[in-house]
Amino acid sequence: MESGTIVEFVGVQKTYDGHTVVIQNLDLSVRQGEFLTLLGGSGSGKTTTLMMLAGFETPTRGHILVKGKPIEHLPPHRRGIGVVFQNYALFPHMTVAQNLAYPLRMRRKSRVETQMKVDKAIEMVRLQGMQHRRPAELSGGQQQRVALARALVFEPDLVLMDEPLGALDKTLREHMQYEIKQIHRDLGVTMVYVTHDQSEALAMSDRIAIFQAGAVAQIASPQELYEQPASVFVAGFIGENNILSGKSAGRDESGRGVVLLDCGQSVRMQASAGFADAGKPLKLAVRPENLVIGTPARDRLNQCSGKIADTTYLGDHLRALVDIGMGQTMVVRKPLQDFARPPAIGEDILIGWNDGDGHVFA
C-alpha cells in the first residue's frame, strides 16, 4: 500500500442477485486529503462503490481497506465515516442543533463539548440563528448545509457524498460546489463524491474516477481526463466531443496515423505506438473548440468539407452542426465575433484542425 492512501479497494466485486455483476474487479485507491469524484452514468456502479465504503453494502468478493485495515465486515456505525445522502436524510423530528448533536450524542461526548462542536459546525456552514428550526422549515440549500455539517461535526477523516447537490437548482448548486470545495480545503478532510454531472466533477475534484459498467474507465485529474482521455468512452463522457468512426489507413511519411473517415474523407493524426494496422476500425475524437471553420481552416493540416446542418445561437458563442457526408456530423463551437456573418444553413463550409488536436482510439 502506498503511503498517503486512506482507502483502498482491492479486487472488489459486487453482485446483488448472483448473476448481474454491478462492480467487477474494482481496484481503486483514495489518497489522504484529496477530493475524489466517482463519475458515471446511472447503473455504472459509482453509488454502489460509495455504499460499500459506507458499509451499507457488502462486497461479494475482495477487500476494502481503510488506513490499511480491512473494513468490509465492520458495521456502518463503527466505521466513523461521514456520509451526506442524496436527499440529505435529516431527521425531521429533530431541530438543526439536535441533528448536528446526534453523532456526538452517539459517541457519548460531554454536553459542553457537544455544544461547542455544534456551534462550530453551524458557524462553518453559516446557519447561525437556525439552530432551533426543523429541517422542514429550511430551504433546500440550508438543508444541504445541515447535512454537510452533520457529516463533518464528529470530525471524521473521510466524508462520502452521494449526489448531494442533485436536488438544488443550477445557481445554488454552483454556489454549494464552491462552499464544499472551501470546506474541503479548510479542513483537509478526504472527500469521496459521487455525481453524474461531469461539469460538477470537473469543477470540484482533485481526481475523477470515471465509472463505466462497474469498472473504472480512467482515474486522473480533471485536466488529464479532458486532455488525455484513455478511451473513446472517457473522451465522449467528459465535455463535448466529436467522435467520428473510420478505418486506419496506415502511417504517412512523417509517422502520423492516417484515418479514413466513414464519410470518405481522410485525415492525419498524431497517433500512439499502438496505432492499428491498415483496415482496422478506429474512432477519432476532436473537441469542438479545437475546430476552425471557413478561411482559417485552409491553414490546418486536416480539412473536412461539409454543409451547415443547423446553427444554435448561445449568446456568447455559436454552435454549428456540420454534415460532413454519409450521415457523419461534427459540432463546431466558436465565439460570435469570429464570424464575419453567421453561417447559413445549407452553406458549404470547410472544417479544419491540426494533427495534434484530437485523439485516435482503436
Partner 1 sequence: MTLTVQDSAETRKLRHAWGRAGKRRRTISLLLVAPLFVYVLLTFMLPIGMMLYNAVENVELMRAVPETTVALGQWKPENPDELPPDIVFTTFLHEISAAPRNLVGEAARRLNYEVSGYRTLLTSTVRKLRTMSENLSEEGAARRFMAGIDTRWEEPAYWHAMKRASSTYTPYYMLAAVDLGIDDAGQVVQAPEEQRTYIDILLRTLKTAAIVTAVCVVLGYPLANLMVVASRPFSIALIIAVMLPFWTSLLARTSAWIVLLQREGLVNSLLGYLGLIREPLELIFNTTGLYIVMIHMMLPFMVLPLYSAMKGIPPHFMKASASLGAHPVRGFLNVYLPMTLPGVGAGVLLTFIVTAGYYITPSLVASARDQMLGYFIAFFANTTINWGMASALGIILLACTVAVYFLAARTVGVRQLAGLK
Binding site for partner 1 (CB under 8 A): 54-56, 75-83, 85-87, 89-93, 102-103, 106-107, 150-151, 154
**Which is closer to partner 1, CB of 67 or CB of 105?**
105
Cα separation, 35 vs 30, in Å, equals 9
Percent helix, strand and coil across the chain, each to the nearest 5: 30, 35, 35
**Which is closer to partner 1, CB of 89 or CB of 301?**
89
Shortest separation between residue 150's beta carbon and partner 1, angstroms: 7
**Which is closer to partner 1, CB of 133 or CB of 247?**
133
Shortest separation between residue 81's beta carbon and partner 1, angstroms: 7
**Which is closer to partner 1, CB of 91 or CB of 178?**
91
Shortest separation between residue 107's beta carbon and partner 1, angstroms: 6
Q: Dihedral, CA atoms, 49, 42, 289, 217, nearest 10 degrees?
A: 40
**Which is closer to partner 1, CB of 80 or CB of 288?**
80
Shortest separation between residue 198's beta carbon and partner 1, angstroms: 25
Shortest separation between residue 35's beta carbon and partner 1, angstroms: 19
**Which is closer to partner 1, CB of 92 or CB of 315?**
92
How large is the greatest C-alpha to C-alpha distance in the chain, in angstroms?
77
C-alpha cell at 107: 459517541
End-to-end CA distance of the chain: 33
Contact between 48 and 57 (Cβ < 8 Å): yes
- Helices 170-187 and 140-152 cross at an angle (nearest 10°) of 20
Cα separation, 126 vs 274, in Å, equals 53
Cα separation, 330 vs 123, in Å, equals 50
User: What region, left, alpha or beta, does residue 254 occupy, with left being phi > 0 and alpha being psi -120 to 50 degrees?
Assistant: alpha
Shortest separation between residue 258's beta carbon and partner 1, angstroms: 54
Cα separation, 305 vs 324, in Å, equals 6
C-alpha cell at 180: 464544499
**Which is closer to partner 1, CB of 156 or CB of 325?**
156
Shortest separation between residue 39's beta carbon and partner 1, angstroms: 22
Strands in 78-174 per DSSP E = 82-84, 158-162
212: three-class secondary structure by DSSP: strand
**Which is closer to partner 1, CB of 1 or CB of 106?**
106
Shortest separation between residue 14's beta carbon and partner 1, angstroms: 17
Cα separation, 324 vs 345, in Å, equals 13
Shortest separation between residue 100's beta carbon and partner 1, angstroms: 10
**Which is closer to partner 1, CB of 85 or CB of 233?**
85
Q: How many CA atoms lie within 13 A of 192 on its CB side?
A: 28
